[in-house]
Amino acid sequence: MTLQWTVVALFLYVEMGILVILCLPFISARRWQSIFQLRIWSCMSRFWNKVFLTMIIILIVLFLDAVREVRKYSAKDLSSDAKLQPNMFDHLHMKLFRAQRNLYISGFAVFLWLVMKRVVTLINQLASASGSTAALQLQADNANQAAKKYTEDNELLKKTLMEGKGDKATAEGMELLRKEVEKTKEELKTSEDAVKKSQSEADVMKKQADGLAREYDRLLREHQELQNLEDGEDKKDD
């Protein structure tokens, strides 16, 4: 193998190894996302698109060269020269075998390069989706627990007040009722404070509006007096 095809073959083996590692079942998508978010990958991300396109172009050029070599050695006919040069037939098949090998190497290298990029993208998307799902699940669990607790408290309170089973049950019911009353009082106090604040702001705005109205009336009267004086002076001049 020549140097460029040795490099392409090594690149293909590296791609296969990376894909095998990315597909390991015991490494979660969120763990891979945390690895992808390391500082070294952040520094390399600005050059990632250029590197990806450059490798695609190089691999496609080598693939087309391999296709050309396969077509070149497949089209030759040595039936007339086979008796004169017995080794030429074997040499031609050796060249054709190498061209086909290079074709497979470059083709699979291009394919796995695209697959690897797609796998990394899907891992990031899966990690983001799983993180959002975990957060939503936690919120839903908290809401269910709170609703369950309130339901149990209400049921216990209703049962205690309706049936009245003993002093202990009555005490528990009264305690729950007292907590509910205190909670309601706090909410009512908060609402009253908000209403008082809104009412005080409304009073201030009303006072400001009254002051502006009085000021407007005063200016209107002064304007009318000046207008009357001006009219009187005009009549005297006539």
Instruction: Considering only residues 4 and 136, tell me which one the structure prediction assigns the higher pLDDT.
Output: 4
The pLDDT value recorded for residue 14 is 92
* Residue type (1 letter), 18: I
Q: What is the mean pLDDT of residues 123-134?
A: 80
Residue with tokens 């590692």: 21
Of 110 and 189, the structure prediction assigns the larger pLDDT to 110
Average pLDDT over residues 51-67: 88
Q: What is the pLDDT of residue 182?
A: 77
Residues ≥6 apart with Cβ < 8 Å to 102: 5, 8, 62, 65, 66, 69
Q: Please give the average per-residue pLDDT across 155-159, as a whole number.
A: 70
Q: How many residues does the chain have?
A: 238
First to last CA, the chain: 121
pLDDT at residue 5 is higher than 70 = yes
Overall average pLDDT of the 21-34 stretch? 83
Confidence category of residue 71, pLDDT binned at 50, 70, 90: confident
Amino acid found at 221:
R
Structural contact between residues 70 and 103, judged by C-beta atoms closer than 8 angstroms: yes
Q: What percent of the chain has pLDDT above 70?
A: 68
User: What's the pLDDT score for residue 235?
Assistant: 57
CB 122, CB 19: distance < 8 Å:
no
Q: What is the per-residue pLDDT for 13?
A: 92
Whole-model pTM: value is 0.53
103's CB contacts (< 8 A; 6+ apart) are 63, 66, 67, 69, 70
Please, where are the H alpha helices in the chain?
A: 3-22, 29-36, 39-74, 86-163, 166-237
Residue spans of beta strands (DSSP E) within the chain? none
Calculated CA dihedral for residues 85, 86, 90, 91, nearest 10 degrees: -20
Contact (CB, 8 A) for 157 and 177: yes
User: Are 102 and 132 within 8 A, CB to CB?
Assistant: no
CA 144 and chain centroid, separation: 26
Instruction: Categorize the per-residue pLDDT at 232 as very low, low, confident or very high, splitting at 50, 70 and 90.
Output: low
Q: What pLDDT shows up at residue 10? A: 93
Q: Assess whether pLDDT exceeds 70 at residue 97.
A: yes
Q: Work out the average pLDDT over 218-236.
A: 66
**Do 156 and 177 touch, CB atoms closer than 8 A?**
no
Q: Which residue has the higher pLDDT, 93 or 57?
A: 57
More confident residue, 197 or 123: 123
More confident residue, 175 or 55: 55
